[in-house]
Amino acid sequence: MSMVNNIPVGPFHPLLEEAEYFNIVVDGETVVDIDMDIGWMHRGHEFISEQKSFTQSIYLVERICGICSTSHPIACVHAFEDVDNIEIPERAAYIRSLVGELERIHSHLLWFGLAGHFIGYDTVWMWAWKYREPILQMFEIISGNRNHYGMMRIGGVAKDVDPARIPEMMKILDMVDDKMNMIIKVAKDDPVLRSRLKGVGVLTHKDAVELCAVGPTARASGVNTDVRQDEPNDAYGWVKFDVPVLPNGDVYDKFVVRALEIIESTKICRQCLEKLATVKGPILNNVKHISAGEGLGRYEAPRGEVFHFIKTDGTNRPIRHKVRAPSFNNIPTYVASCKGIPLADALITLASVDPCYCCTERSLKVVDINRDPFQIDLLKLSREKTQQIRSKIHE
C-alpha cells in the first residue's frame, strides 16, 4: 500500500548551516518529489552595490560569501575591467590566480569534512579540516587575513607576495598533495564511502545541460565546463592544468572530481609561486575612471561559475550590478537527482552540490514602495512564513 508523506527539512535544521526549506515528498522510504523554498535570507547586495562606488562594491561583494570570499571580488573586478578592456600587470595576474586556487582547495576540503559528517563518517571530517588549516595559514601569509582577504582591485591586486615566504608555502602545498592522494585512495578503497556514495543521487548529463548546472556538479555529470579553460583570464592562460570530468553524475563522482581538482589547484599554485619568485613589476594599474557601458565578469569559484554583470553610466557607481552565484543554478538540480532515491540518501545528495544559500539569496531586497524600505519587520515576515508552511503541512 502506497503511503505518501511530506517531510519538511528546514528552514532551520541541523543538516543545513544556513536557512533553507525543503519539502521532501516520500512514498514509504522513497523520495518521489522535492520542492525548495528560498527567500529566508534578506540581503540586498545588488541594491546596496548600486549605492556604492566601484571600489566599495568590491569590498561589499567579498562579504556575499564567507567561503568563496575571493571568487565574487575576482568576478566583480573582471566585470569592471570588461567595460573598458582594462589589462592587469603580469605579477598581479599570478597573485589573483594563486589566491583563487587556494580558495578552491580550502573550500573543497571544507566540503569533504561536511560530506563525511553527513554520512556519519566523522574521521573524514576531522582529516579534511585538519589539512584545511595550513591553507588558511597560507592566506594569512599572503594577505594578513585567514578569510576576507581584501586582495582584489580594479586593474590588479592590493597586496604583493613576499618572495622570501614562497619556500614555506611550497612545503604546505606538498603536504596537501600527499594528503589528497591519501583521501582519494580512501575514497576508492573504503567500502563505507563507496556504499554510501556510489550510484547515489545521479544527475544525468541531459539534466545537467538542461538545468544549466555549473562547476563540479556539472563536471561530475560529464559536462566539460570550466571558466578557467573556457575564458582563461588572469594567469590561467599561462599555467598548465587539467579539468577533471567524470561521467556518472552520482555523489561519488562529485566527491572524486573535487579531490582531483584540489590536486590540479596545487599544480596551479606551484606554477604561480615559481613565477612570483622571478617575475618583477607592479601589481596594480592605476584606473581612475570606468566609462559608460556594460561589462560581464565571471570566475570559476569552487562551486562553479560566479557571474557578475555591471551596467555603468560614466559616474563612479554602477546603475545595475547583477550577481549570480553557482548555487543558484545548482540547487534546482535536486529535482532531477533526488527523485527515486531512498530518504536516507537524500541528505547527502542535497549536500553534494555544496550549496551556498547565502550566495543564492544575495539579491533579495524587500522594498515596500509605500513605506520606508528599511522599516519592514523582517523577523515578523519570517515568522509568518514559517506559520504558513506549518499550516500547509498539517492540512
Partner 1 sequence: MPENEFFAAMGDKIGKTIEKKLRYYFEVKNEDLHDVVNYIFNTMGCRLSTATATELYGGIEVLYHFSHDATGTYYCPRIIMKDKKKPQMKSITPIVRGAEWIEREMAEMFGIDFDGHPRKEPLLTRNNPTVEKLPLRLRRIS
- Considering only residues 285-304, where is the footprint of partner 1 by CB under 8 A? 294, 296, 298
Residue 86 contacts partner 1 per CB under 8 A: no
For the purposes of burial, counting CB atoms within 10 Å of the CB of 340, is it exposed (0-12), middle (13-18) or buried (19 or more)? exposed
Stretch that binds partner 1, among 25-33, 158-166, 256-264, 323-331 (CB under 8 A): 323-331
Residue 349 contacts partner 1 per CB under 8 A: no
Size, binding site for partner 1 by CB under 8 A: 44
Q: Are strands 21-27 and 156-157 parallel, antiparallel or unpaired?
A: unpaired
Q: Which position among 328, 346, 348, 353 is part of the footprint of partner 1 (CB under 8 A)? A: 328
Residue 385 contacts partner 1 per CB under 8 A: yes
- 7 with 24: CB under 8 angstroms? yes
Q: How far is the CB of 207 from partner 1 (least distance, A)?
A: 8
Helix (H) or strand (E) holding 254: helix 251-278
Q: Which is nearer to partner 1, 177 or 231 (CB)?
A: 231
Residue 266 contacts partner 1 per CB under 8 A: no
Q: How far is the CB of 73 from partner 1 (least distance, A)?
A: 18
d(CA 338, CA 326): 19
Show the cell assigned to 233: 583570464
User: 200-219 mask for partner 1 (x: CB under 8 A)?
Assistant: ---------xxxxxx-----
Residue 82 contacts partner 1 per CB under 8 A: yes
Q: Residues for the chain: how many in total?
A: 395
- Computed from CA positions of residues 287, 288, 294, 299, in that sequence, does the dihedral angle turn out positive or negative? positive
- The DSSP-derived string for 331-350 is GGGHHHHSTTSBHHHHHHHH
Number of Cβ within 10 Å of residue 94's Cβ equals: 25
* Site residues for partner 1 per CB under 8 A: 37-39, 47, 82, 85, 209-214, 224-225, 230-232, 294, 296, 298, 305, 307, 309, 311, 319-320, 322, 324, 328-329, 332, 361, 363-369, 381, 384-385, 388-389
